[in-house]
Structure formats: structure tokens, C-alpha cells
Structure 1
Amino acid sequence: MDTTIKQVSSVEYELEISATADELAPDLNSALKTQRARTKMKGFRTGKVPLSIVKKMYGEALAYGIAEKSIQEKFETEVVEAETHDVVGKPKLTRFEYKLDGDLSATIRFGVKPTFELEDISTLTVNKMVHGTNEEDVDAEIERLQKAEADLTPFDAPAGDNDYVVMSMQALDDESGTPIIGEKQDDMTVHIGDDRLKSELRTALIGMSAGETRRVDIAHDEPHDHGDEHHGDSHTHSYEIEVKEVKKQELPDLDDEFVKSVSKGEVETVDAFKEEIRKQLASGWEQRSRELLESSLMLKILDLHDIEIPDSIIDIYLDSFVEDVIRRNQGKAPEGFNEDAFRFANRDEAEQQAKWMLIRERLVETENLDVTDDEMAEFFKQSSEGGGFSPEDMEAYYRSMPALMDGLKQRQMSKKVFDFIESKVTIVELDKDAYEEAEKEETNQED
């Protein structure tokens, strides 16, 4: 059996395999004899069926199995065991030419780990959003919580721009103005102040009272079906709307009883509640700032490195994307799920993640980054505070599930990697408005 390894690109190779029928014959004959020993056929004792008949019945399937096994064994000996190539991912059989009693010719393509040098990241400048929490933020969050607990009370007056209405909405034929059967939405509760509400509908609802009807024309920017017709990109439809009730939102008083209710008894006074809200908002903004910073750092470092990624690594990430879709859909693919289209649409994202994994791995190796036992112990100590269990109990819980422990170590390592990167690049701290404007300008420049 002859083999040749050819380089296709800097990160992909092909193993070409060829074998004559005579070279494959011993294994085929052995497989036929094994099959003959367990073949049962009327008129023959078990194991006594003529070999020619066994070959006619099972020869092709056995031959293909032997050919595939020979190819796999050659890949193992010539590539994997030889350790001449740093193989990553699964090899792919790209060519297979073989028929029973014929010669074999096949090609296996495999990817190798890219070799590259880390670029100088100290040249990078990255914006960081810094947002402090003020009293307006606290008041706005408390009002949001009050609205979530508020009652909607009917009242006999025209609807205002921040009221709620219970309404019906009947689609009308564009030409005749008659109602379209089956195109009516009934008993909808609508907040007139909702930014997502169509402006034409909002304008029509303001000032309407219970029992009143109006006709309203609403513009549509996207194609859709309306009645028995399909409409193009930009068009207008008519509707008859009827207000059945007008309701006002009555916020609960901000008092100790409200605080105890929404905090489930964890906070008892308004002052303590405000302080807790302030801490939560500060923590939330800090987390968001960190996530935005890490995303910016990652994108800039990715842009700095030109690394060719083999398909075999990209396929690993695409496989994980598909598995995630299936897992989130209770273990089966969603109805109508087109895996090929999904993989094509997500290929760029998979390539970026693969590229970042390689850069991150090289940073860890080059800078000798490591998560120490002391750092893990500190994590368990901080995480167990106020939880009703000891650091030792938490550590034992993580260690009882290796996958969970590995995930924790990976997150701790990621934090170390980003801390190192942050120490090397130039960080420009900006308030929220300035940060958003700077990011917008940078996006426009890239476009």
C-alpha cells in the first residue's frame, strides 16, 4: 500500500492512499471465511456455504469495510503515530475510489495547528465605558419595579399618552373598506406610551374614550400577507380600531410594605432598599463595562493577527453550535432546521472563535499564565460568603462534577488572560454617552 502526503495550504494536508487488489485480497479472503463460518442457508450446514456464494452475498459490503479500515489504519500510522504533523480536528475522506476485487485509491484531508507569532498588542488603544450610579438611576429602577407591581384601573375619560387601552383592531379591505374575515385582533391591552407602538396607532388612540371607534391607516415597511394578497416592501393598510376600556396605571406607594414584598423579605426599609438597588445597578454597570471591554479587546487582537484556520477546527465550533441548537430544543432539531444553511451562516463566527482560541492558548503559553490553587481557594471563599455553606463544601461540589470544575477553571483563566491584555494596551475611560459616540464613530469608519 503506497502513501503520499501533500501540502494543500499552510494548515491543511492530504494523505493519498493507493492499494492494489492483490494487497487487499488477504484481508478480504479472511473476512469472507469468517462470514462463511456464521452464514446459514437452506441446503447447507452452517459454515459450509460455498465461498463463492458468500462472496456474492456479502463480498461488496465486506470489501468496503476492509478498504475503509485500511485507510484509517494508514492515517494512524503515517500521520498520527509518526507525529510529523500536529493534527487538529477530524480528518475528512475527500476521495474514495474502490470496487470489489479492484484497486483502492483514496484521499484524506486533515488540518494542522497553525504556527504564528503573537503581534505587539501594546500598540492597541481601547475605549472603556465608566458609568457611575446616581439618584436618577436609582429612582428610575424603583419606578420600573413599581410599574411591574402596578394595577390597571379603568376610568371614564379620554386616553392620554401614557395610559392603557383594551381594544380591538379589525383589518379592512384596501379598496372597499369592508372588514376582512379572520383578520381581527380582539381584547388587546396596549400601552400608548410603548415606544414599539406604531406612531399612527398611538396618535389615533390618544383622546379616544371607551366605546369609540376610529379608522386608522398604518404604514408597513416590510413585505407580508394581508387578507388574500401579498404586499411589497413599502405600503399602507387600513384598520378600524375600537376602544373598549381606558385604564390608568396606579403605582403602589414606595413604603416598607412594598419593599418587603418585592425583595421577598430580604430588605425591610425604603432606605435599605435604595442602597441595595444602588449596589445592584453599580454591579450591573460594572459587569456590562467589563463585557464590552473584553469584547473590544478580543476584536482588536483578532484584527491584529492574520492566521489561516483549517476547516477541521472550524468544524469543531460549528458542531458545537448545532449541538447547542438541539440541546435548547429539548434534544432534537427544530422543525424545518436546515443544518447546511445554519453552518454556512455561522461559519465566520466559528472561524473567529477558533482564531481567538488559538491566540488565547498562545498567550497562556507565552506568558506562563496559570490558575493557582490559592486563587481557586479565594474564589470558593468569596462565592460561599452569605450562601450558608463553607468554601470546602463549595469546592467539593465543583470537584464532584469534572465538567463544572473545568468550566470554572476556564473562566478563571479567561479572566487572567484579559487582565494581562488590559495591562499591556492603552485603556481610554469614557462616560456612557462619550463611549457610545466613540464606538459609533469607529463603526462608521470600519464601514
Structure 2
Amino acid sequence: METKIKQATPVEYEFEIHATAEELKPKVNEALQAQRSQMDMKGFRKGKVPMDLVKQMHGKAIGYRLAEGYVQEAFQNEIEGNDEIEPVGQPMLTDLDYKLDGDLNATIRFGVRPEVELADLSDEELSMLDHEVSDEDVDKEVQRLLQQRADLIPLDDEAADEEDFVDIDLQRIDAETDTPIIGDKEEGMTFFLDDDRLRDELREAIAGKKAGDTFRVELPPGAPPEAGADAPTETRLYEVTVNDVKRRDMPELDDEFVKDITEGEFEDVDSFLEEIRDRLKEAWSDRSREMVQGDIVDRMLELHPIPVPESVIEMYLDSFENQVKQQNDGELPDDFDKQAFRQQNRDDAERQARWMFVRDAVIDYAELEVTDEDLQAFYEDQADEQAGLTVDQLEQFYSQMPQMQERANQQILSDKVYDYLIDAFDTQRKSLDEFEDELKEKHEQRQALAGGAPAGHGHAHGHDHDHDHSH
């Protein structure tokens, strides 16, 4: 057998195999004899069918199986067993030329890890939200909890204010003919007027109206008239009918309310307020962490435009398909367009693959590893989140589930990668106002580059960029 390894791209190689018919003869005879021993044909004793007939009936299938197995064995011995080469992803058989009793020629294309030279991050500025929970934040959260427990009292002949609950019908009007547009009416829409998602124009128009009032309002393009609807692209005229107005009857913040809402966990207002403050601190910390992780991935990919092997991109696309299957009882939907799906998700697959290589490079460079102490802390956190399970029970569970254990290890490593990179970047901690101003400025810049579309407002909401996979 002759083999040759050729570099096709910086991250892909071709493994060429040539074997003569004489070299393959022992394997061919073995495969034919195995097939013959199983054949039971009329006119012949079992296992005594003439070899020419065996070849005629099964030669093509035998030849393909033999060639495939021979090529796979050669790849395992010379590539996977080669300490100087580290293949990644699924190797692809790109060429196979073989007929039974003939020579074999085959080519396997496989990917290798790209070289990642980590950039110096010390002069790379990274913004991180550092919000200090204020008394006002605590008051807002208390107000939200009180509102959740409030009773709604109907207002018979009193105008709605900007915190009341309303039930309305919304009929779109043709401005040219001044007539209702048939089929464009929403009935029984209910919402609180202090809902942040509501259009200011609609809120201001309803405030001051009573149940039974009908009026018209123009809503400009942009956001929808109510949360969740499709956004109009032009100014629209609507006729609004107020069906009902209700006002919150707020409970008192006292010890009885605290006992009720916490189911006895807290018994007095002061300890409850302290708990709220602690939970808000944790929530803001988690939100800050989530956002900076997304920014870190973006920045690291910008700074490390490494090539990605096609085999690894295909590996991620396969995982995306498997997710679709899991969401559909193990089967792809009947109308699933595999080619369109893979094309649509190709950029994301390449992005996730590239982050995997960069992340692994950071782990190697910083010599990050999972310690027993890390695992113990992980089990303790899991036990806090899953009532009824002890740390020992969780440790035993993970030890019996290798895939779950590996996932836990990768999660711990990811946290360490982000910790390391937060320190490696020139991380600037920003107040909420500073951070949102910066988000708004970035949004406006993106809109300008995209063609001058109107800029929206930046908000400190997280976005998920963490795509770690066990490998």
C-alpha cells in the first residue's frame, strides 16, 4: 500500500491511498468466503455456491464494504495514530475508485486544528456593566411585587390614569375614506398603561378617558400599538373604544404581607428588603456577566480571524440538525429542507467552531484545568438550585453519567476562560447610565453603516454567545 499526505488548505489535508489488487487479494478472498458460507441457493449445498456466482451476485457490495473498511483502517493507523497530526471533525471520503479484484485508489479529506496565536489584550478596551443596587432599585422591586398582589377595582365613572388597567378595542381607519378597514380590528386588548412596552402615543391618548369613551389616535411607524404585535411601517389612524378601566388596590407592605409572599421564609419587612437587595445584586451581576461574555466572544473572534476546517463546520451543522430532531420527537419535520437549513445556519456553525478553537487556545495558554475544588463548588451550586438533592447525590449522579460530567467540566472551564479574559482585556467598569449610553452609540453607528435607518435606544439586556461543546 502506498499513501501520501498533501496539505490542501492551512487547516485541511488530503490522505491518498493506493493499494494493488495483489495486496488486497487476501482480504477479497476472506470476504468472498464469508459471503459464500452464508448463501443457501437451490441446487447447491449451503456454503458451496460457485465463487463466480458469489461475485456476480454480491461482488459490488462486497467490494464497497471491503474498500471502505480498508481505507478506514489505513486512516486510523497512519493519521489518527500519528502524534504529529491531530485531525478534528469527521473525515470525508472524497474519492473512491475500486472494483473487486482491481486496484484501489481513495482520497480522504480531513481537518486539523488551526494555529491560534493569541493577541495581546492589554490595550484592548472592554466595557463591563457594574451597577450598584440603589434604594430606588429596591423600591421599584417592592412596588412590582405589591402590584402583582394588588386587586383590580373597576372605575365606574372615573378617568384612567397612566398606571391603570384598561380593556380596549382597536379599529384601524382608512384615512382617505374615513371608514373602518374590514378585518383590521383587535378586540378585548388588555394591558396596564404603565407597561414599558406600550407606545407613548397610545398611553397618552388613553389616559384621561373613561369606560365607554371612543376616540381616534394616529400612531407613527416604528413600534407596535401594543406589546407583541407586528410593527407598522407607516403612520396609521385608529379608532379606540375603551371597554373597561380598573385601578390597582395595592396591599400594605407589612410583616403579614412579607410572611404571605415568602411563604414564611421571612417574617419582617427589614429582612425582606435586605433579601430583595441581595437578589437584585445577584441578578445584576449575572446580567453583567452574560453581556460581557457575549462581548468577549465578539472581540476574540474579531482579533483572531482563523480559518476553520470544513469538517468541523459540518460537525456543528449536524449538531444543529440533531437539536431539530430532539424538538420533534426524534424526527425531522416532513417539510424540513435540509440543504436550506444548513446553508442558513452555516455562518453560525463556523462562528461557533472558531470560538471553540480560540477558547481551547486560551485554556492551553493559561493552563486552565478543572480541580476537585471546582467540581465541589459546582455540585454545591447545583444542590442549591435543585431542592431535595444533596451534594453527595449529585456527585454520584455525575460520576455515573460521563456525558453530563464532561458537560459540567466544560462549563467550569468556560467560566475560567471568561475570568481569565476579563483580566486580560483592559476592562472598564461602567455605571448603568454610562453603559446604556455606550450601547446606544454603538447601535446608532451600526444603523448608520446599515443605511441610515432610525436608531433605537440601547438597553442593558444580555445576549447569548456562549457556545461551548465537548470535544
The aligned counterpart of 1:308 is 307
Q: Any residues of structure 2 matched to 1:9-88 within 5 Å, and which?
A: 9-19=9-19, 24=24, 27-88=27-88
1:252 aligns with 2:254: no
The aligned counterpart of 2:227 is none
Tell me the distance in 2 between the aligned counterparts of 1:146 and 1:80.
64
Tell me the distance in 1 between the aligned counterparts of 2:79 and 2:316.
23
Tell me the distance in 2 between the aligned counterparts of 1:81 and 1:330.
38
1:205 Cα deviation (Å)? 4.0
Tell me the distance in 1 between the aligned counterparts of 2:393 and 2:47.
62
Q: Assess if the C-alpha contact under 8 Å between 1:118 and 1:362 holds in 2.
A: yes
- Given the superposition, is the C-alpha separation of residues 382 and 163 from structure 1 closer, same or farther in structure 2, using an over 3 Å criterion? closer
Deviations 1:176-221 (A, max 9, x none): 746636x654433233443434566556544544344456666666
TM-score normalised by the chain length of structure 1:
0.81
- Given the superposition, is the C-alpha separation of residues 249 and 333 from structure 1 closer, same or farther in structure 2, using an over 3 Å criterion? farther
Q: Any residues of structure 2 matched to 1:363-378 within 5 Å, and which?
A: 363-377=362-376
Query: What's the secondary structure of 1:210's corresponding residue?
Result: coil
- Given the superposition, is the C-alpha separation of residues 31 and 237 from structure 1 closer, same or farther in structure 2, using an over 3 Å criterion? farther
The aligned counterpart of 2:278 is 279
Deviates more, 1:92-101 or 1:130-139: 92-101
- Given the superposition, is the C-alpha separation of residues 294 and 218 from structure 1 closer, same or farther in structure 2, using an over 3 Å criterion? closer
The aligned counterpart of 2:265 is 266
The aligned counterpart of 2:108 is 108
The aligned counterpart of 1:162 is 163
1:109 Cα deviation (Å)? 0.7
Q: Any residues of structure 2 matched to 1:1-400 within 5 Å, and which?
A: 1-19=1-19, 24=24, 27-98=27-98, 104-156=104-156, 157-169=158-170, 177=179, 180=182, 184-197=185-198, 201-202=202-203, 205-213=206-214, 234-235=233-234, 241-333=240-332, 336-377=335-376, 392=392, 395-400=395-400
Tell me the distance in 2 between the aligned counterparts of 1:254 and 1:263.
13
1:308 Cα deviation (Å)? 2.2
Deviations 1:235-268 (A, max 9, x none): 5666655433222233332222322222222112
Unaligned segments of structure 2, at least 5 residues: 224-230, 450-471
Tell me the distance in 2 between the aligned counterparts of 1:414 and 1:355.
15
Deviates more, 1:123-132 or 1:408-417: 408-417
Identity %: 42
The aligned counterpart of 1:228 is none
Q: Name the amino acid aligned to 1:66.
A: L
Tell me the distance in 2 between the aligned counterparts of 1:282 and 1:64.
63
1:407 aligns with 2:407: yes
The aligned counterpart of 1:226 is none
Deviations 1:73-132 (A, max 9, x none): 222233223444211121012233455666544321101122343332333332222211
Q: Name the amino acid aligned to 2:271.
A: A
TM-score normalised by the chain length of structure 2:
0.77
1:8 Cα deviation (Å)? 0.7
Unaligned segments of structure 1, at least 5 residues: 223-231
Q: Assess if the C-alpha contact under 8 Å between 1:173 and 1:180 holds in 2.
A: no
Tell me the distance in 2 between the aligned counterparts of 1:377 and 1:71.
45
Q: Assess if the C-alpha contact under 8 Å between 1:172 and 1:180 holds in 2.
A: no
Q: Assess if the C-alpha contact under 8 Å between 2:127 and 2:427 holds in 1.
A: yes
Q: Name the amino acid aligned to 1:180.
A: I
Q: Assess if the C-alpha contact under 8 Å between 1:121 and 1:301 holds in 2.
A: no
Tell me the distance in 2 between the aligned counterparts of 1:46 and 1:294.
67
Q: Assess if the C-alpha contact under 8 Å between 2:217 and 2:240 holds in 1.
A: yes
- Given the superposition, is the C-alpha separation of residues 70 and 122 from structure 1 closer, same or farther in structure 2, using an over 3 Å criterion? same
1:31 Cα deviation (Å)? 3.0
Query: What's the secondary structure of 1:123's corresponding residue?
Result: coil
Deviates more, 1:150-159 or 1:390-399: 390-399
Tell me the distance in 2 between the aligned counterparts of 1:419 and 1:377.
19
- Given the superposition, is the C-alpha separation of residues 122 and 208 from structure 1 closer, same or farther in structure 2, using an over 3 Å criterion? closer
The aligned counterpart of 2:416 is 416
Cα-Cα RMSD: 3.7
Deviations 1:257-292 (A, max 9, x none): 322222222112222211111110011112222333
Q: Name the amino acid aligned to 1:355.
A: R
1:13 Cα deviation (Å)? 0.3
Q: Name the amino acid aligned to 2:352.
A: Q
Tell me the distance in 2 between the aligned counterparts of 1:101 and 1:170.
79
Q: Assess if the C-alpha contact under 8 Å between 2:116 and 2:357 holds in 1.
A: no
The aligned counterpart of 2:467 is none
- Given the superposition, is the C-alpha separation of residues 200 and 121 from structure 1 closer, same or farther in structure 2, using an over 3 Å criterion? closer
The aligned counterpart of 1:428 is 428
Tell me the distance in 2 between the aligned counterparts of 1:335 and 1:194.
40
